[in-house]
Amino acid sequence: MPLIHAICATCGVQYEASETPPEVCAICADDRQYIGAGGQRWTTLPAINGQHRNIIESVAPNVYAIYSTPPFGINQRAHLLVTPGGNILWDCITNLDQSTIDLVNGLGGIRAIALSHPHYFSTIVEWSAAFGDVPIYVNALDAEWLGRRCDAIVEWTGEQELWDGIRIICCGGHFPGASVLHWPAGKGSLFVGDTIQVAPNRKTVSFMYSYPNMIPLPKTAILQIQAAVQPLDYDAMYGAFGLYIRGRSASRHAVFRAALPRDLSVGLGLNLPACEELKQEGKHHHTQRTHSVQPQEADVGKP
Ligand SMILES: [Zn+2]
Ligand SMILES: [Zn+2]
């Protein structure tokens, strides 16, 4: 039987060569993802090439979004950053064909690939090989999720400078090694993957352990993400799904001022305005209502 590099049809991550695909995709079996209602499905890169093509869209000076149409897998966008020191592919998509390679080479090729987290590991080994075995930066804390490995993979921890002050910074949260990329040119740009999720209002962000399964992160993880990006200057934030925040509202202060009080109140049940109003109402006007009963009163009459 010929060997194939199986690709999970749900998350788009490619696995090592085998005669038959793995039983399940480890990434989709994890509680941050899901296996589709029809069960585990596999495909291959030639099959995807036949059904999808890629769009390379200019979204800002020297920033291109790369995504597939019709959508494939998680439907994230990779971003090509055209920098004087060489181009960076931030995150990755599964579909890679000759016309994509030609177009990207026309923009200067790729010097390095960097990943925000395992959901976008896709076909990183194919992309690296197509552009001259360029290094693939994968946070060491998440390397166990690699479906396919090659010698170009560079494992890093904490913070890693690529060149010219461009850094990838580990924030944790969504995954232990979940990261962002900071490009200081101009007023600065922050590429956030799923580490910080840009909301459709393009004003606020959120932070989740699982986006598809809607599992929130604990307060400590959100504060850790905030602390990791706090020293960075930027006026543009690029999410993984075509949602971008630009200008003053993208700054660290504005984004976190809007998001933190709301996200940190989830699960604590203490600071939500509705609860506060109810408490006030109970104290002043309706002391007999159950929600204002004091613990000592509740103990009265116990045996
Ligand atoms: Zn999968
Ligand atoms: Zn993710």
Task: Please state, in angstroms and rounded to a whole number, the distance separating the CA atoms of residues 1 and 153.
Answer: 29
DSSP string, 43-93: E-HHHHHHH-EEEEEEEETTEEEEEEES--TT---EEEEEETTEEEEES--
Residue type, 22: P
Instruction: Determine the pLDDT at residue 149.
Output: 98
Beta bridge partners of 69: 53
Ligand in closest contact with the CA of 29 = 1
Ligand in closest contact with the CA of 195 = 2
Ligand in closest contact with the CA of 12 = 1
Spell out the domain ranges in the chain.
Answer: 4-45, 46-265
Instruction: Determine the pLDDT at residue 7.
Output: 98
Convert the pLDDT of each residue in 136-181 to its tens digit: 999 999 999 999 999 999 999 999 999 999 999 999 999 999 999 9
DSSP string, 187-240: T-EEEEETTSEEPTTSS-EE-EEETTTTEEPPHHHHHHHHHHHTT---SEEEET
Beta bridge partners of 198: 205
Ligand in closest contact with the CA of 27 = 1
Ligand in closest contact with the CA of 173 = 2
CA of 119 from ligand 2 middle (Å) equals: 5
Ligand in closest contact with the CA of 119 = 2
Task: Please state, in angstroms and rounded to a whole number, the distance separating the CA atoms of residues 270 and 25.
Answer: 39
CA of 281 from ligand 2 middle (Å) equals: 42
Instruction: Determine the pLDDT at residue 265.
Output: 67
Which CATH superfamily does the domain covering 46-265 fall into? Ribonuclease Z/Hydroxyacylglutathione hydrolase-like (3.60.15.10)
| Positions in the chain whose pLDDT score sits under 50 | 267-279, 281-303
Instruction: Determine the pLDDT at residue 258.
Output: 73
Instruction: Determine the pLDDT at residue 271.
Output: 46
- The CA-to-CA distance between both ends of the chain, in Å, stands at 75
CA of 211 from ligand 2 middle (Å) equals: 7
Using alpha carbons, select from 116, 73, 92, 14 the residue that is nearest to residue 212: 73
Indicate the pTM of the whole model. 0.87
CA of 74 from ligand 1 middle (Å) equals: 9
Please give the structure tokens belonging to residue 147. Answer: 């479906």
Instruction: Determine the pLDDT at residue 263.
Output: 72
Using alpha carbons, select from 105, 48, 57, 106 the residue that is nearest to residue 77: 57
